[in-house]
């Protein structure tokens, strides 16, 4: 699943997951460092961050600091990188309240950020089917941004169901994707509980820790 430099050049990678707290920001940092090691200039975009306290989006700020250290040309402000910031820790559809989301603006912002990098890493919110607006979900943003999807799946009990449901959703939308297992929860029992099926069902498994 891990490709060479030319594969990633001039692409955007949309990092999503099977649910919240599965490791999207961790995956963003892993891919940023990996792509930078290939000699590519990386950028970062998180259209929505919820649970923002004191006007400081923690995930977005941490990633922007990392990306700037890897690519000093990516000289954007946090409000450019995380244009929609909401206090309530909920799905964007709920957290936004009366805010009207401008998806044309988000597309323009993506193009602006892409001018300062070879690969733009886009981080979603929650899982693929988290609602952003009425009848618009995170998975729809992947299509809107014409990105390649990186699906992060957990190692905990229940990951088989979550992984298959998310993969089926991506296939139904005809979205190009790779998936990575994040060995972080129930990892001691993963080999006994979940790995036997996953290993038989998929021709190859890749772990996020290998990126």
Q: What is the pLDDT of residues 155-173, one digit of tens each?
A: 999 999 999 999 999 999 9
Residue 26 among known ligand-binding residues? yes
Active site residue 187: no
User: Annotated catalytic residue: which of 30, 46, 110, 148?
Assistant: 46
Query: Domains of the chain: which residue ranges?
Result: 5-210
In this structure, are residues 211 and 30 in contact, taking their beta carbons and an 8 Å threshold?
Answer: yes
Q: How confident is the model at residue 10 (pLDDT cuts 50, 70, 90)?
A: confident
End-to-end CA distance of the chain: 10
Residue 176 among known ligand-binding residues? no
Q: What is the pLDDT of residues 82-128, one digit of tens each?
A: 999 999 999 999 999 999 999 999 999 999 999 999 999 999 999 99
pLDDT at 2 over 80: no
How far apart CA 201 and CA 93 sit, in angstroms, is 35
Residue 84 among known ligand-binding residues? no
Neighbours of 156 (CB within 10 A): 18
Domain 5-210 is classified in which CATH homologous superfamily?
P-loop containing nucleotide triphosphate hydrolases (3.40.50.300)
What pTM was computed for the model? 0.96
**Residue 125: enclosing H or E segment and its boundaries?**
strand 119-127
At residue 35, the pLDDT reads 97
Q: Phi and psi at residue 140, in whole multiples of 5°?
A: -70, -30
Return the structure tokens found at 74: 């990516």
Residue 75 among known ligand-binding residues? no
């Amino acid at each position: 699943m891990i490709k060479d430099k030319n594969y990633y050049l001039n692409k955007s990678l949309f990092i999503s997951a099977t649910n919240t707290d599965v490791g999207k920001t961790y995956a963003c940092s892993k891919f940023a460092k990996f792509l930078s090691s290939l000699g590519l200039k990386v950028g970062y975009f998180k259209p929505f961050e919820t649970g923002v306290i004191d006007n400081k989006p923690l995930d977005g700020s941490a990633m922007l600091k990392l990306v700037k250290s890897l690519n000093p040309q990516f000289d954007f402000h946090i409000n450019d990188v995380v244009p929609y910031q909401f206090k309530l820790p909920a799905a964007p559809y709920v957290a936004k309240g009366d805010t009207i989301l401008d998806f044309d603006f988000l597309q323009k912002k993506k193009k602006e950020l892409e001018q300062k990098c070879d690969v733009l890493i886009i981080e979603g919110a929650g899982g693929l089917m988290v609602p952003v607006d009425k009848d618009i979900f995170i998975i729809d943003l992947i299509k809107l941004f014409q990105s390649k999807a990186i699906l992060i799946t957990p190692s905990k009990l229940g990951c088989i169901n979550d992984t298959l449901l998310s993969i089926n959703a991506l296939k139904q939308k005809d979205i190009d994707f790779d998936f990575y297992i994040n060995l972080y929860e129930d990892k001691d029992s993963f080999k006994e509980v979940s790995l036997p099926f996953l290993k038989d069902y998929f021709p190859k498994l890749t772990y996020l820790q290998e990126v």
